Amino acid sequence: MLKLYGGDRSRASIVKWYLEELNVPYEFVRLDMQSGEHLQPPFLAINPMGKVPAIEVDGFSIWESGAILLYLQEKYGEPLTPEQRGTVAQWVLFANATLGPGLFIEATREKEAPRLLGGLNQALEGRTFLLGDLFSAADVAVGSMVAYMTLMLKMEFSGYPNVAAYVKRLSERPAYQKGIAIPIPA
Ligand SMILES: N[C@@H](CCC(=O)N[C@@H](CS)C(=O)NCC(=O)O)C(=O)O
């Protein structure tokens, strides 16, 4: 069975959400990160960087939440066209390399928020999900980032109505509730 390695309140929730969406059976291996279990040889053999999340399946292991999402989409998700795959990769990379750092780093937040959230708001115009009607790993990557912003930065998206509606829509999904488990205020 697929093993998902994570800690309490870690980015493993992102992967958990997507595994629940895909209905893939998995075992959650909770590492005691307080005591540094993620820095011990057994876990370093899975991820030499000593970071979670990581997954192990059929003797194969992979880490970095974005890479894991893309792998799971390819292995268990609906077949996508090359253009859809490219678009999913674009949003997953945007979530982890641009949106997260731009908004979680206090020094850049004020400058980056209008541009990044404004752009996301525009991209969501007339769309249910980032690929249109099809839910994908892109929504897990971007959706979990905006959910974390709601929870950790107490951000509200009142100036970005499409983003606010999108976050609410995602948070109502049963798989989100099992994985991320962050209530989004009404
Ligand atoms: N870019 C990585 C970030 C991984 C990461 O920083 N994970 C944190 C937990 S959320 C971690 O393992 N921290 C432990 C440490 O740095 O010692 C990803 O998205 O997977």
Q: What are the 10-residue block averages of pLDDT along the chain, 186 residues in total?
A: 93 96 97 96 97 96 98 97 98 97 90 95 98 98 93 86 95 92 53
Domain boundary at 21, 49, 76, which? Answer: 76
Residue 11 near ligand 1, beta carbon < 6 Å: yes
pLDDT of residue 142: 98
Number of domains the chain contains: 2
pLDDT given for residue 154 in this prediction: 83
The CATH number of whichever domain residue 163 belongs to comes to 1.20.1050.10
Instruction: Say yes or no: CB of residue 37 within 6 Å of ligand 1.
Output: no
Q: Which of ligand 1's atoms lies nearest the C-alpha of 51?
A: 12
Indicate which residue's Cα is closest to atom 6 of ligand 1: 51
132 Cα–ligand 1 center, Å: 30
Of the residues 4, 52, 64, 68, which should be mutated to test ligand 1's pocket, given the most ligand atoms within 8 Å of the CB?
Answer: 52
Within a domain: 185: no
pLDDT for the residue numbered 180: 84
Per the structure, the complete domain to which residue 91 belongs is given by: 82-173
Tell me the pTM.
Answer: 0.95
Q: Are 38 and 31 in contact (CB under 8 A)?
A: yes
